[in-house]
Amino acid sequence: MTAEHFDQLLGLEYTEITKDGVTATFTVTPQLQQPYGILHGGVLCSVVESVGSISGAAWWDGPVVGTSNHTNFIKATRDGTLTARSVPVHRGRSQQLWDIEITDEQQRLIAKGQLRLANLDKTGSDTIGRS
Amino acid sequence: MTAEHFDQLLGLEYTEITKDGVTATFTVTPQLQQPYGILHGGVLCSVVESVGSISGAAWWDGPVVGTSNHTNFIKATRDGTLTARSVPVHRGRSQQLWDIEITDEQQRLIAKGQLRLANLDKTGSDTIGRS
Amino acid sequence: MTAEHFDQLLGLEYTEITKDGVTATFTVTPQLQQPYGILHGGVLCSVVESVGSISGAAWWDGPVVGTSNHTNFIKATRDGTLTARSVPVHRGRSQQLWDIEITDEQQRLIAKGQLRLANLDKTGSDTIGRS
Amino acid sequence: MTAEHFDQLLGLEYTEITKDGVTATFTVTPQLQQPYGILHGGVLCSVVESVGSISGAAWWDGPVVGTSNHTNFIKATRDGTLTARSVPVHRGRSQQLWDIEITDEQQRLIAKGQLRLANLDKTGSDTIGRS
């Protein structure tokens, strides 16, 4: 599974993908800002969603679907390159929970999110997104 | 305040903005999907963020900043036009809390999010995003 | 299933239990307060947990287990009788999501919580709490 | 500030209180269980609330009030002594965010919660719980 579609719009690039965590980076561009010129909070949620989903799929070695994304915004940012890193909180037979921290180039915490995932049938017989 | 920047990437269009709630619509396009071809969860979070922020700014009649976005994904969707509507849970002197529901053309619930906002100084002397 | 154990400590009394929602009441006593003399937030979370769990079990007609409880505190309260009411957000084959509002005698919102539940095997062959 | 009231019902005992984190323990007793004989999720939320609030008050050196408690339940437990430890995510001029992990005697994660606090006026002129 590779980053596609919406990740491309975000400019998200994965630098490490393992079963125990994922690292990705992206750069704050004007099109990712909200009307006040600061990075749109939805971009931070989206990065949490992508990085957490890739993390869960790598560990489960099969399809997963996000069920809940709770992202806290810590510090406003207007530019620069941000880095997102995931760590597992829980990896179970039916659900996973991952923490994702997004930091700036000075290692300051910009946002912290938590993504809950449902593990889907590896044979693909599940209907994706039905829970 | 008008929709700009990231909202344009999402194709989000506001159809009603009042102090008691906001309505907006957007269409699921391929660039808003994740690798499995379903709408990226981060897009739903982003719509919650935009619609909730506009709601809070309209009521406060001044700048607000999102502090926490918790979005639950209910039903996977691949296409069509979705509608987001906000309702206030709490509108206080320093913080606001809004519920935002996103439904499809058959009125089925696709996602439900909750956005917490901090009200900023209307004179603009506050540093945005510092809490 | 009847209210037992921890619910008794809380003094929680169910006045209506249906598949579409549950209503319960409790009274703020000194032992439910925190050191400043206001109702302890954990009591509000606990009422969300109990009322949401009973709601989910009534609809599923089998055992359920809470996986995530997100409760927002709106208004501090020191005394009186509070009422909690649940409404379903999502009732699926494997997971449920319920909103629970807690109001005071003047119908003011005291807290609003959201409880995510996992539906367990009705035959009881599941290990409760393993996800 | 010392543990009082509801904390006593929970049997919560603080073993360390610093500006950078708090540790507390409690024992699972029958009165803290739900009807299936497992520890009530609301107790875990309540411990998150108490430990996070004491943490925030210790750092702020003044009164704080919880605004949002999001607790995830990882593993069901029926007995034993549990330990809760807090770590700061964000400590700002108006708000704080703390992570609290609750583990059992084998260091297994039982629950992980996040508490958002509003810092109140140290002179006490604020109305507690008004936000």
pLDDT band at C125 (very low <50, low <70, confident <90, very high): low
Please report the pLDDT score of residue C28 as a whole number.
Answer: 97
- Is B127 within a domain? no
**pLDDT tens profile A87-121:** 999 999 999 999 999 999 999 999 999 999 999 99
**pLDDT tens profile B37-46:** 999 999 999 9
Residue whose tokens read 């719009």: A9
Q: Read out DSSP for D60-108?
A: HTS-EEEEEEEEEE-S---SSEEEEEEEEEEE-SSEEEEEEEEE-TT--
Please report the pLDDT score of residue D124 as a whole number.
Answer: 58
Query: How many degrees, rounded to 5, is the angle at CA A51 between CA A11 and CA B3?
Result: 50
Q: At what angle do helices A41-60 and B41-60 cross, to 10 degrees?
A: 160
Domain that holds residue D78: 6-110
**pLDDT tens profile C37-81:** 999 999 999 999 999 999 999 999 999 999 999 999 999 999 999
pLDDT band at D130 (very low <50, low <70, confident <90, very high): very low
Burial-class residue A2 by CB neighbours within 10 Å (0-12, 13-18, 19+). Answer: exposed
Which residues touch D62 (CB under 8 Å, ≥6 apart)?
D119, D120, D121, D122
- Is B129 within a domain? no
Which residues touch A18 (CB under 8 Å, ≥6 apart)?
A58
Interchain proximity B5–A30, CB inside 8 Å: yes
Interchain proximity D89–A74, CB inside 8 Å: yes
Q: Which among A44, A97, A101 is the top mutation candidate for probing chain D, defined by the most D β-carbons within 10 Å of its own β-carbon?
A: A97
- Is A18 within a domain? yes
- B6 at A interface, C-beta within 8 A: yes
| Residue whose C-alpha is closest to residue D88's, from D111, D56, D60 | D56
Has residue C21 got a pLDDT over 60?
A: yes
Average pLDDT for chain D: 92
% pLDDT > 70, chain A = 91
ipTM of the complex: 0.92
**Model pTM score:** 0.94
Residue C68: list chain A partners with CB under 8 A.
68, 116
CATH code at position B98 = 3.10.129.10
Please report the pLDDT score of residue C124 as a whole number.
Answer: 58
- Is D105 within a domain? yes
- Is B1 within a domain? no
The answer for C 46-75 residues in CB contact with D (under 8 A) is 46-50, 53, 63, 65-73, 75
Per the CB < 8 A criterion, the answer to whether C39 and C33 are in contact is yes
Has residue B2 got a pLDDT over 90?
A: no
- Is D117 within a domain? no
Closest chain B C-alpha to C105 CA, distance in angstroms: 18
- Is B130 within a domain? no
Q: Where are the alpha helices (DSSP H) in chain C?
A: 6-10, 41-60
Residue whose tokens read 């990231």: B6
- Alpha carbon C50 to its chain centroid, in Å, reads 3
Average pLDDT over residues A38-58: 98
- Is A61 within a domain? yes
How many domains in chain D?
1
